[in-house]
Amino acid sequence: MELPISFVERMKTQLGSAYAQFETALQQPAPVSIRLNLRKLGQQPQLPSVPWTDTGYYLPERPLFTLDPLLHAGAYYVQEASSMFLEQAIRQTVNLDQPLRVLDLCGAPGGKSTHIASLLSEDSMLVANEVIRSRATILAENVTKWGSGNVLVTNNDPRDFGKLPDFFDVMVVDAPCSGEGMFRKDLQARQEWSEENVKLCAQRQQRILMDVWEALKPGGILIYSTCTWNEAENESNMAWLAEQENATSLSLRLDPAWGVEASELNGMKGYRFYPHQVQGEGFFLAVIRKEGIAEALVHGSGKKKKHKLTPAGKKEQALVADWLIEPDRFEWLQHGEVISAIPATIFEYADQVYQKLYVVYAGIEVAEAKGKKLKPLHALALSPYLNKAVFRTEELDLESALRYLRKEDISLEGSGNDWVLLQYKGLPLGWAKQIGNRMNNYYPKEWRIRMELPQTLEEELFSLGQYL
């Protein structure tokens, strides 16, 4: 692997005698890891675990994930192991038993957002943001597949969050960076790297941090991370932020067996992941607390709030209420023809987000209402809150599941005129509509698998199911 000369010189200074091991590690294949969705898979696979998370596992090699229906069902997420250390940062510094408002500022494609959603209580709210619209769409897709009903996906610039001062209890800023930690598996990251780009990234990261700082509550937690090793984008930025604002660095407990290296600059602590010390890619994380005490919420002012979110009509609510388990936990909303549900405990806060930001997706999109006809939406099929008992369900084999995911015609026994929930290994994949002897495929066309299927499916394809 050809590395930039100035990068090599810096890393030799940074690592000293360990540089040779570091360089050797970069020549090895990158580890492959996944994180389970325990709301969909209660069974742990027979695989080596990622030590700093309860739900991460290593695979022996990188398979063809695209052709595993369980991935499309939201049963797991393919995520780099080092970045799963976010779980330790949250568990060790945040009280997860209380309702929280959390922002994942740079959320796409969705690894950290779905991870955070798995850690939060049902009464908490996660705002998963992405500034680039096309990537925000991908983020919304992965959040939908994961199935958490208390997530809002937004498409905003960091400066827009200044419209929500002192709003978030926790912020996660996985900042755009020079990508040094991805050199092993990303040729483009090596080709685009330069010392000048490192400086530009550091400046951009500072702007991002200052843009969102106002939206963090006094006493709130900010978790900052990059996939790079240089000090300028990491410890120096944390020290700079502490100089600009009143912030305190927080320490995390480490198990020596993990191989994570603690660092410190001007009192600001950080945690570094090197490929010769951990089974993962390059990563940096730091946690700081905004000084101060948040003001207590005042209820009962007597003023009636004007909401942007529009309640669904009682008739529409009655038609779809039994489609969800525990429907009374939700506020039912309608936007155009779409009826959706959002946990009642976060409704007021979600409404504030809608008033100040551009929301791409929120809660659970349950149904589309056209006159007297109701069409169940894909997000409902993938939600753990789906009440399967009110729908006809059909189990698909591997070939039928993949043909459904390719949005091809599939055939099932029976006839009638009703919606059918299609499943693979007991997990919903989506909807089809039985019309007489014909079955119409309602898998979202923008999500369909475009890859051709191999001739011998069972022999050639990976499925997480083989490890369960």
Q: Which residues are annotated as a binding site?
A: 130, 157, 174
Judge if the upstream peptide bond of residue 376 is cis by omega within 30 degrees of 0. Answer: no
Distance CA 447, CA 72 (A): 9
Buried b (16+ CB within 10 A) or exposed e, 378-398: bbbbbbbbbeeeebeebebeb
Q: For 284-321, give one letter per residue: b (16+ CB within 10 A) or e.
A: bbbbbbbeeeeeeeeeeeeeeeebebeebeeebbebbb
Q: Which is the catalytic residue, given 106, 177, 201, 227?
A: 227
- In angstroms, the CA 181 to CA 452 distance is 33
Can you say which residues are annotated as belonging to the binding site for S-adenosyl-L-methionine? 130, 157, 174
Return the exposure string of 144-174: e unless at least 16 CB atoms fall within 10 Å of the residue's CB, then b. Answer: bbbbbbbbbbbbbebebbeebeebbbbbbbb
Determine whether 227 is an active site residue. yes
Which residues are bridge partners to 34 per DSSP? 57, 78
In whole angstroms, give the CA distance from residue 41 to residue 427: 9
Instruction: Return the SS3 of 407.
Output: coil
Active site (catalytic) residues: 227
